[in-house]
Amino acid sequence: GGLLGLLPDVDLLLSWGLGLGRYYHGSYTHSLLFAVAVGAGVSLLRREEQPRAIAGYIGAALSHGVLDALTKNQFGGAALLWPFSLTQYRLGLVPNYEFYPNPDVQGWGRILAEAAPYLVRELRVYLPVLVLAALIRYKYSQPQSSPHPTAPQLRPIGERR
């Protein structure tokens, strides 16, 4: 799920590789259609049949575009309705990062040095959430013991000993 949430930013790598510039960011990979296609594709690969799990995969892929749509910056936003609209929606609720590396001009060392503060900021937010989720999952994955192990076992009515 977490990787599906990061997947829409593959458009940054494509824009660098194809020389399309930073204005390409937030386009089709941030759309509802892309999220449905990726979520359904992952569900097929994992042979998932539960609607709740399929919706989870789609939601994880869509979360990135929705969160990018909350931004203020002119380079932020998301084309949520691509291919029907190229409009990059911005609700202007959250200031987004001023980090748009350009590998044609900057070396990778400089790009990584500029990215480090953003990584630290995101780790401060997401690491506690991940630890809490892991603790909850661990707690509920343990076999539950009976609160009264010596209590007599009840039998259905009419069953004989």
Give mean pLDDT, residues 40-63: 92
Query: Distance (Å, rounded) from C-alpha 130 to C-alpha 128?
Result: 5
pTM of the model: 0.64
CA angle 92, 57, 5 (to 5 degrees): 40
CA dihedral (81, 99, 132, 49) in degrees, to 10, reads 30
Model confidence pLDDT, tens digit, residues 59-105: 999 988 888 888 766 666 888 999 999 888 888 777 666 666 666 67
pLDDT: which is higher, 161 or 39? 39
Q: Which pair of structure tokens corresponds to residue 34?
A: 């892309």
Model confidence at 32: pLDDT above 80: yes
pLDDT: which is higher, 34 or 86? 34
- pLDDT value, residue 153: 64
Model confidence pLDDT, tens digit, residues 96-132: 666 666 666 777 788 778 878 877 877 777 778 778 8
CA nearest 35: which of 6, 10, 59?
A: 59
